[in-house]
Structure 1
Amino acid sequence: MTRQLADDIGNPGCSVTSLFANDGVAGMNPSPLDLLEPGALMGGPLMRSLAVQIERAERLPLGTRLGPFRVIGELGKGGMGIVYRAERDDGAFSQQVAIKCVQRTDDVRRETLFLRERQILAELRHPHIARLLDGGRHESGQLWFAMECIEGERIDVHAFRQQLSVRSRIELLLQVMDAVSFAHQRLLIHRDIKPANVLVDSDGSVKLLDFGIASLIDDDAREHAYSPAWASPEQVRHEEIGPPSDQYQLGRLLGAVLACSSSSTNPDSAASATLTDAGSHRPAYDPKDAQRWCDVGSKQRQRELLAILMRACAEQADARYGSVVEFAQDLQRWMDRRPVHAYKGGLRYALQCAVRRQPLTAISASLAIVVLIGTVAAFSWRLAQERDLARLAAERAEREAATATAINQFLNEDLLQRANPYQEARRDLTVREALEQASLTVDERFADQPAVAASLHWTLANSLLGVGDAARAESQIEQALALDQAAAIFDSEQRLELRIDHAAIQSEQTRFDAALSLLEDVQSEAKRVFGHDSPSDLRASFGIAQVLLNANRPEAFLNANQDLLKRLEDSPLALSAMHISSLTADADIAARLGRFERADASIARALSLSQSLPPRQQHLYLSALQVSALLSRQRGDFVQAVALQRQVSALRELRFGRQHPVTLQANNELASILQDAKQYEEAERLFREVLGVRDQSLGLGNTLTRNSLNNLGLVLSLQGKLDEAGLHYRRALEAERTLLGDDALDVLILAHNFAGLLRAQGKLDEAIAMARDTVARAERTLSADRAEPALFRVGLAHSLLKRGDRAAALEQYGFAHRRLSRVYGDDNPKVKRIEEMRAEALKTP
């Protein structure tokens, strides 16, 4: 779904829904977090305003009001201050919180920074992090902040009392690591991870306390900043602190959680002591402590787990894991009985792991090896053939080098030269025109080099597809296929890749059945030649999912993509761009269908896999963050959605420039969210900017340009600028009908929006006629799991009601209600809104 759909459910006049995003897969916003270097917040001024020694703290009497809360008891005290239990006392709703009060201050600058950084920490939303809920200044001058009140017990005590298995203990720790990794993505570190700051609630869920609080203090109060028994070496040495410090403490926490008695995990009694001598810091981790662990299995298993812990707790930060995510992945590998990276066991160790994991398979493999050894002599004659293969490989390398030279010459003399204003009469030659003209010279220039010609036709096909010219792209790829068929230019794997790209071009031309048929043939051949779940097989499956997505078949896409994701997890392409893209698309479509649990799981996995990618693949991380913005938008949290999307736009502009297609897509998405948030002026400005660039560079024949026309028309109509909106709608609708036909979904959405505009202009007969035609075509062409026909009927009902035909309007409301209930369920807000509109219509005279 690629364009805005006027949402007559939200507002009978002309409003907008977040049900449909603008340009497809969505990434993240420029929040204050991005203005901080890694760890900068941890050394910031918040706790310079908050931290105070216990001796100087002023106790508050019971009943004291702090904002909306009333103190009802004292929970405890520590190096950070006194902690009170308080309950909400403003009558809004019932809530208990933990409140920390700190020393009063008259420093206006510090209080301003306190308020700013309190907001940053309040936005740290994660299921395993106790949230900062509120804060302020008491009339006595003391600053206070309210935290989520967690009823639970320390993680090490919980593991001991419940006699948890080693797997259950590590799964608890993985929840903590997920929370810490989430914060590291936002450039926040904890600095004081220890059992006392990790509680397990009654549901068995972990909560990490005091995030960002323990490290925000002045140098003269450093003894309150960390617990010496848990501090990293760099903390004790007063060196720069970063994510590796949290990783060190997570390693120490792993050792504590694995202990088979609670007494061995309680060094917190020394938590307030001061260590001024870095040399007095205890060793990273004493391997003898592993003797006090619960049963983790064999000695080998214990050595592996100890190797993981020792790497996380290495004395030097650069000797630890690259990130908390890598630490967690190694623990997961240990639980799955796969080789762990921290244990350097070589090939023998890898074989041992394979035997442990699948003993029957290992026995079979051993028998196969015996058979293989017995037949080696019979195949020694193949050595001569290997020499021939080496000679052929050398010849192939020579041909490829010649091909590369020829292609480079073509790029310089035929393609790039056409963009030189001193060589061409036209100075405004577009990329598409340059590609078209260059493609005409390929066969003539390389008539005696079919391999070069075929490679160039293939490259030009993908380039032309990228600029929206699918027809010429198909012509180029068909020429590449013909040359390969005549001269067997490509190897088997390349030939399959070529056909997959051909299917993508067919899909772009809406020839979905042909594309699916071609990909199924490719998949069958890939399995026959390379085996099930080979890279070629998986790429064909990925192509099938993408065709289903382009064909607006979301249920079929989700089913196909779910199967693909399961296969990718255990394949050589796990963690690849294809894997992350599939997860991001899965979250995107699941969110659009209201399946937020699946969407949340997919996007969390995508963010986890993409956060450590190199800069050249940062776009995958940004795409995942953009879907996070979509999820916030779908839930109606427009403030969060706008904030996330602003960051995506800023980062893409920084890397690609203002007019690059990916920046335009990000700004288009930002404008859509601003429109949902009723910030129409900024949304209109961005829509105009995006339309101007696309209209000039891509032309009206490109879908993105027509989407921009539709989006600008909608935001103009929402502001009452109906005449100009009508011009944009009409221009887009005429082009769409010519290019796509009357029944295409994009045409139906545009016709629905246009009908709403006609209604707003008082042209009710025209509006009703167009709406009826749109509903009829949608019901005939769209599947039963689509919501659009119901939304189109709501628009028709509004027009009928405005003309005074109440009975007909009630009938349309009824049809819409039944369909949306079937698609979304009775509790969906849109379903309930239709019920309200129908009730209001019944009251209409």
Structure 2
Amino acid sequence: MAQDRQEDPDRTELLATRAPSAAPSVGETLAPGAQLGRYRIEELLGRGGMGDVYRAEQLEPVRRTVALKLLRAQKLDARRVAYFEVERQLLAQMRHPAIAQIFDAGATPDGHPYFAMEFIAGSPITDYCDAHALPLRERIALFVRVCEGVQHAHQKGVIHRDLKPGNLLVDEVDGRALPKIIDFGIATATSLTEGREAAGTPDYMSPEQAGGDQALVDTRSDVFALGVVLGELLTGQRPNARGETETDGAHTLRLPSQQLSTLSPADAGKVAHARSEPLPRMRRVLRNELDWVVAKAMRFERGERYPSVAALAEDLQRFLDGQPVQAAPRTRRYVWRKFAQRHRTGILAASLVALALVGGLALSVYGLLQARAQRAIAEQRNAQLEKVAAFQQSMLEGIDIESMGAGIAGDLRAQVARQAPDEAPAFDLALAHASTPDLARSVIDRSILANAERAIVRDFGDDPALAADLRESVARVRVALGLPDAAAAGFAQVAGYRARALGEAAPETLKARQEQARALLDASRAKDALAVADAALHNAERLPANDPLRIKLRLDQAGAITGLGDRPRARRMLETLRADAIRLRGERDPATMEVTNNLAILLGRMGEPDAGRKLMEALLPMRAQVLGKDDPDTLEARHNLAIMRVLTGDKDGAVAMQREQVAIQTRRLGAEHPTTLGERGNLANMLTDSGKPEEALPIGSAVVEAATRVLGAEHPQTLRAKLNLSTVYARLHQFDKTLVMQQDVAEARTRLLGPRHPDTLYILVNRAGTLKQAGRPKEALALATQLLPQVREVLGEKHPQTQAALDIRGQSADALGDTALAIASYRELLPLREEAHGMDDNQTIMTAWRLQRLLRKQGDVSAADALRERYVAPLLRAKLDALDGGERTVRDMILEAERKGGPLEQP
């Protein structure tokens, strides 16, 4: 947070309300160099009624510049300190691009609370908009992003209470305005006053907040403050709300258009010019729509305001999109005017067409009119039929087959419990081995879709083009219901007809071929999908290079190569495709973003998570802005980014993002929907990686049980859930359970995917590691030695699983006394780990320590000394306070192993 060195002109004040109290003592400011906890003060940035804001340097556990606010107005006793800690945890949960992140909060030894937050080198939103002469629409779009950040805080249970331009800063990142909401400290400090004081800035404060009864303050109080800020953004002046914050019954409000009318014509013209609007139009826009929005946000009675900040943001977005705003009176004239504004070109074109038709009809002969009328009737009937088919398709595609299956299971259990309660336990056991979603799919396929296909043959045999369109509709429903094999057959039939009627290179034919290839990929028939995609791409050469259909076909081609296990080739194809798509369609195009998503996932699977995360960090905000925050593709990007964060070591950030993802999908789909189960399984996996296997165990167990019951024991998602749970058991040193689950997964993947598939090799390497951890080095060595040639060939030398296999072989050989094999393993592993992680990484240091110990044991003292000095000695010589937790653990393990004279055990 950055501010000028001056008093805040819009001061945050503590207003006396019900009981008189002494004015708070602000106290002396902290001098540069003073230390407060883990922070060293650099300079005073500003002062307000609640306290002082400093720029400070955080000294540990990381060094960074922060904005530190010291609240001198409130001193905390022991009871309040406990409550303050609860608020601190609440504030720390907020993670949103428009919110300055709060890193830390605490209290000084004498009881003064402080907050450490992200340092923003920005300016107040009003100053930024004026300095850059932003047009009216851009100001509103920027304000909508602020509203999204405030809504995020409200969802976390935090009311800001002091929203004003000085707390809404705007900075530029890569030339793009980025708003940041700061100073949530008031939200915490206010809760400590027990209703005696109202915190906030009077000019932006809602009536109930200024009235003193803090129990009345809720999220609508922030809506009021945002209404004031919006009015100021529109006209450069705050809406005059005299009487609005009082309880004398005088509820007057001067709206933006009225504010503009109080200015001289010259000054009003300057305001309009600074917003790229002609003055008459600006007056009209303010008076007809934006006045209503500001008025609704600033209603004296909070029940008459927008019910949430999200509703305010939605109304402003409707304004930007040319839609009628909800705050406006819903007159027919107003709605028609907005429709006409949105479709001006279309209405003009339609008018011209109508005139041309009238003229043409006037000149047509009666017989021609009759022929055209008959043809129009036929075309109308076909169009109506297509609309009905499209409606039925949308209804069937909207069926949640997993929820339907769960409902069937629940109904069956209820019937058995009522009619034969003694048999209920046995029935539950039998039902656990059935897949009710598959039953639901089968019923819909046989009873609805198969009948539809028979009706198409019977009733539309004389109109093959329409029949093909209807078959295509049925195939799309089958894709949505999870019947990819049948869908692929349907698309093949459609493509065959269109190829005969229109040619293989016709766009309609190629579209059906692309859908056929995608369905084959969904059915895990990668070889068949590749053949279809290759042939379609050959026939698509006459399409423009930037046609999205060509991009989708190339994407399916790369997906098939991935499915066949040739990941290096698939990577090259995706990298080339992404570069072409960006050049031809732009980075924010949906087709380009899909390519970026698939490439990022592939990079993560190939052992390059840093590169994958970089792509995904850029992709998520693009999808959220272009597609919407709740769009399935946006949620998929959030899911993938959380995984990338784990793979790159940001475990806390990953767990926080994943908890939110689980909450979103549980709310949207239910706790046992396959998508939600996948997210819950990922959360358990991340908790395990973060050193919290006890917390992960009940989550992982529940996911395996539900996935087995809902999806089936050998469904890929169930196998992933078992793999995750086996890892939890391993972290808890319950190796017998781990090995049993790993064996089940390995056998299933070998049977379903083949012995050389990357997913099969992954679980087999894990099993070798578990055998070593369980004290069975002979079996671990045999399995690792058997796997290494295949792992090198399929995954590559640099892949983490290749390195893991070498490490397992080295440790197992060492345990069995095969020093030569252990040395050979570590000599091969050390440069791979140094290249992947650096020479200071804990895994690199452990590998070097094991190798130098074995070399010394073999008598090669000079080589051992060289390794020790390069890799191990810097860690042992470092000061303890300069090491993080992982480095201290490795250092202690090395020293303890050397004291005992034994090998170093894997942490």
TM-score, structure 1 as length reference: 0.68
Please state how far the C-alpha of 1:644 moved relative to its aligned partner. Answer: 4.4
Query: 1:813 is matched with which residue?
Result: 829
Q: What CA distance in whole angstroms lies between the structure 2 residues aligned with 1:443 and 1:562?
A: 41
Query: 1:758 is matched with which residue?
Result: 771
- Residue 349 of structure 1, aligned match among 341, 346, 352: 341
Contact 1:284 1:315 in 2 (8 A): no
What SS does the aligned partner of 2:341 have?
helix
- Where does structure 1 lack aligned partners over 5 or more consecutive residues? 1-45, 356-361
What SS does the aligned partner of 2:70 have?
strand
- Residue 181 of structure 2, aligned match among 198, 208, 213: 208
Contact 2:796 2:802 in 1 (8 A): no
Please state how far the C-alpha of 1:91 moved relative to its aligned partner. Answer: 11
Please state how far the C-alpha of 1:607 moved relative to its aligned partner. Answer: 4.8
What SS does the aligned partner of 1:313 have?
helix
Q: What CA distance in whole angstroms lies between the structure 2 residues aligned with 1:603 and 1:771?
A: 38
Q: What CA distance in whole angstroms lies between the structure 1 residues aligned with 2:547 and 2:682?
A: 35
Query: 2:788 is matched with which residue?
Result: 775
Contact 1:236 1:277 in 2 (8 A): no
Query: Which residue identity does 2:24 align to in structure 1?
Result: R
Q: What CA distance in whole angstroms lies between the structure 2 residues aligned with 1:561 and 1:48?
A: 61
Within 5 Å, which residues of 2 pair with 1:419-438?
428=431, 430-431=435-436, 432=438
Pair 1:738–1:568, CA change in 2 (3 A):
same
Please state how far the C-alpha of 1:749 moved relative to its aligned partner. Answer: 0.5
1:444-472 superposed Cα distances (whole Å, 9 cap, x missing partner): 989974559999999799779967xx7xx
Within 5 Å, which residues of 2 pair with 1:46-195?
55-60=23-28, 62=30, 67-68=37-38, 76-81=46-51, 97-104=67-74, 110-126=80-96, 128-148=98-118, 153-157=123-127, 176-177=146-147, 179-180=149-150, 182-184=152-154, 186-195=156-165
Contact 1:257 1:265 in 2 (8 A): yes
Pair 1:71–1:815, CA change in 2 (3 A):
closer
Q: What CA distance in whole angstroms lies between the structure 2 residues aligned with 1:504 and 1:186?
A: 40
Query: Which residue identity does 1:720 align to in structure 2?
Result: H
Q: What CA distance in whole angstroms lies between the structure 2 residues aligned with 1:101 and 1:446?
A: 70
Higher relative contact order (CA 8 A, sep 6+): 1
What SS does the aligned partner of 2:71 have?
strand
Q: What CA distance in whole angstroms lies between the structure 2 residues aligned with 1:143 and 1:253?
A: 28
Query: 1:286 is matched with which residue?
Result: 257
Q: What CA distance in whole angstroms lies between the structure 1 residues aligned with 2:392 and 2:296?
A: 52
Q: Please, which moves more after superposition, 89-98 or 104-113?
A: 89-98
Alignment pair present for 1:506 and 2:496: no
Alignment pair present for 1:387 and 2:377: yes
Q: What CA distance in whole angstroms lies between the structure 1 residues aligned with 2:59 and 2:447?
A: 79
What SS does the aligned partner of 2:296 have?
coil
Please state how far the C-alpha of 1:807 moved relative to its aligned partner. Answer: 3.7
1:67-114 superposed Cα distances (whole Å, 9 cap, x missing partner): 445778865543434556777699996866433324456776544332
Contact 2:70 2:112 in 1 (8 A): no
Please state how far the C-alpha of 1:385 moved relative to its aligned partner. Answer: 1.2
Pair 1:801–1:509, CA change in 2 (3 A):
farther
- Residue 489 of structure 2, aligned match among 478, 488, 504: 478
Please state how far the C-alpha of 1:386 moved relative to its aligned partner. Answer: 0.8
Query: 2:202 is matched with which residue?
Result: 227
Q: What CA distance in whole angstroms lies between the structure 2 residues aligned with 1:581 and 1:434?
A: 30
Q: What CA distance in whole angstroms lies between the structure 2 residues aligned with 1:168 and 1:186?
A: 28
Pair 1:397–1:311, CA change in 2 (3 A):
closer
1:311-359 superposed Cα distances (whole Å, 9 cap, x missing partner): 542335349995465467568x6xxxx857669754653466899xxxx
Query: Which residue identity does 2:376 align to in structure 1?
Result: E
- Residue 600 of structure 1, aligned match among 614, 617, 638: 617
Pair 1:710–1:278, CA change in 2 (3 A):
same
What SS does the aligned partner of 1:286 have?
helix
- Residue 669 of structure 1, aligned match among 678, 682, 707: 682
Q: What CA distance in whole angstroms lies between the structure 1 residues aligned with 2:736 and 2:217?
A: 59
- Residue 833 of structure 1, aligned match among 838, 843, 848: 843
Contact 2:228 2:238 in 1 (8 A): no
Contact 2:125 2:170 in 1 (8 A): yes
1:16-43 superposed Cα distances (whole Å, 9 cap, x missing partner): xxxxxxxxxxxxxxxxxxxxxxxxxxxx
Pair 1:609–1:487, CA change in 2 (3 A):
closer
Query: 2:880 is matched with which residue?
Result: none
Within 5 Å, which residues of 2 pair with 1:722-741?
722-741=735-754
Within 5 Å, which residues of 2 pair with 1:430-449?
430-431=435-436, 432=438, 449=455
Please state how far the C-alpha of 1:672 moved relative to its aligned partner. Answer: 0.8
Query: 1:313 is matched with which residue?
Result: 294
- Residue 842 of structure 1, aligned match among 836, 848, 852: 852
What SS does the aligned partner of 2:68 have?
strand
What SS does the aligned partner of 1:55 have?
coil
What SS does the aligned partner of 2:730 have?
helix
Q: Please, which moves more after superposition, 75-84 or 536-545?
A: 536-545
What SS does the aligned partner of 1:118 have?
helix
Q: Please, which moves more after superposition, 765-774 or 343-352?
A: 343-352
Q: What CA distance in whole angstroms lies between the structure 2 residues aligned with 1:181 and 1:600?
A: 22
Contact 1:153 1:201 in 2 (8 A): yes
Pair 1:311–1:547, CA change in 2 (3 A):
farther
Pair 1:634–1:252, CA change in 2 (3 A):
farther
What SS does the aligned partner of 1:675 have?
helix
What SS does the aligned partner of 2:256 have?
coil
Query: 2:9 is matched with which residue?
Result: none
Query: 2:532 is matched with which residue?
Result: 518
Q: Please, which moves more after superposition, 277-286 or 168-177?
A: 168-177
Contact 1:506 1:514 in 2 (8 A): yes
Q: What CA distance in whole angstroms lies between the structure 1 residues aligned with 2:544 and 2:354?
A: 22
What SS does the aligned partner of 1:98 have?
strand
Pair 1:201–1:513, CA change in 2 (3 A):
same
Pair 1:815–1:353, CA change in 2 (3 A):
farther
1:425-482 superposed Cα distances (whole Å, 9 cap, x missing partner): 9974643467669978999989974559999999799779967xx7xx6368637966
Pair 1:487–1:286, CA change in 2 (3 A):
closer
TM-score, structure 2 as length reference: 0.64
Query: Which residue identity does 1:349 align to in structure 2?
Result: Q
Q: What CA distance in whole angstroms lies between the structure 1 residues aligned with 2:62 and 2:388?
A: 78
Contact 2:25 2:73 in 1 (8 A): yes
1:250-306 superposed Cα distances (whole Å, 9 cap, x missing partner): 5654564577xxxx55899x9999644563553232365363424343528746974
Within 5 Å, which residues of 2 pair with 1:252-331?
252-253=228-229, 256=232, 275-277=246-248, 279=250, 281-286=252-257, 289=260, 291-293=269-271, 294-297=273-276, 299=278, 302=282, 306=286, 309-310=290-291, 312-315=293-296, 317-318=305-306, 323=311, 326=314, 329=317
Q: Percent sequence identity over matched residues? A: 23
1:775-825 superposed Cα distances (whole Å, 9 cap, x missing partner): 32233334799654445444444445554234412342156348x64xxxx
Q: What CA distance in whole angstroms lies between the structure 2 residues aligned with 1:353 and 1:243?
A: 41
What SS does the aligned partner of 1:297 have?
coil
- Where does structure 2 lack aligned partners over 5 or more consecutive residues? 1-13, 261-267, 298-304, 326-333, 460-466, 858-907
Please state how far the C-alpha of 1:748 moved relative to its aligned partner. Answer: 0.8
Contact 1:584 1:624 in 2 (8 A): yes
Tell which structure's C-alpha radius of gyration is larger.
2
Pair 1:388–1:235, CA change in 2 (3 A):
farther
Q: What CA distance in whole angstroms lies between the structure 1 residues aligned with 2:731 and 2:102?
A: 38
Q: What CA distance in whole angstroms lies between the structure 1 residues aligned with 2:289 and 2:531?
A: 48
Q: What CA distance in whole angstroms lies between the structure 2 residues aligned with 1:153 and 1:439?
A: 60
What SS does the aligned partner of 2:250 have?
helix
Within 5 Å, which residues of 2 pair with 1:568-587?
none
Pair 1:325–1:807, CA change in 2 (3 A):
farther
